[in-house]
Amino acid sequence: MDLDAHDLLGMSQPDLDALFSAHEAGPIPDGEAIGAAIIAPGTIFSPEIAAAINIFAWKGKIFDGKAGFLRNEILPFGLKAIVARVYKAPSWLDGKECIVLDYSETSLVASHIRDEIRLVDTDLYLGKVYWDSKRLIDFSLDFRKTAAA
């Protein structure tokens, strides 16, 4: 398919949900991924919002697949913080297996957050963010590019 974050930012919410549901979980990732927050999906504002968030707040995630943990890369200077446990479990969206990024026991700041990801293209994951059981936003994780690239 050759999807990238820009393609996902242009999709509507129903299209993002259908793409997520159409794919398997894929392997638990290992390494660094560039993140893109997908807010106001399918609108002209989505790429601009994602760019601002990437500069000032959230840059991506660094996975230790073997240990089953990750750290988020945040703030303009790339602080590696906000740890999550990583494991496979049923998705809250459709009940099929996904990769869960669980902050409930590892972070005071994000203890109400649960992310779910699935592999939607080579080294590209689409994610859903939940606050308790309420769905908030989507995001992408691209392991094909690194911050140094």
- Cα 142 from chain centre: 9
- Checking if the pLDDT of 147 tops 70, the result is no
Q: Is the pLDDT of residue 121 over 70?
A: yes
How much is the average pLDDT of 21-35? 97
pLDDT of residue 78: 86
Residue 55's H or E segment, with its range, is helix 46-56
pLDDT band at 125 (very low <50, low <70, confident <90, very high): very high
pLDDT of residue 16: 98
Express each pLDDT in 77-87 by its tens digit: 888 999 999 99
Q: What is the pLDDT of residue 146?
A: 58
Rg (CA), the chain: 14
49-100 pLDDT, tens digit each: 999 999 999 999 999 999 999 999 998 888 899 999 999 999 999 999 999 9
**Is 13:132 a contact under the CB 8 Å cutoff?**
no
Give the pTM: 0.94
Check: CB of residue 102 under 8 Å from CB of residue 27: no
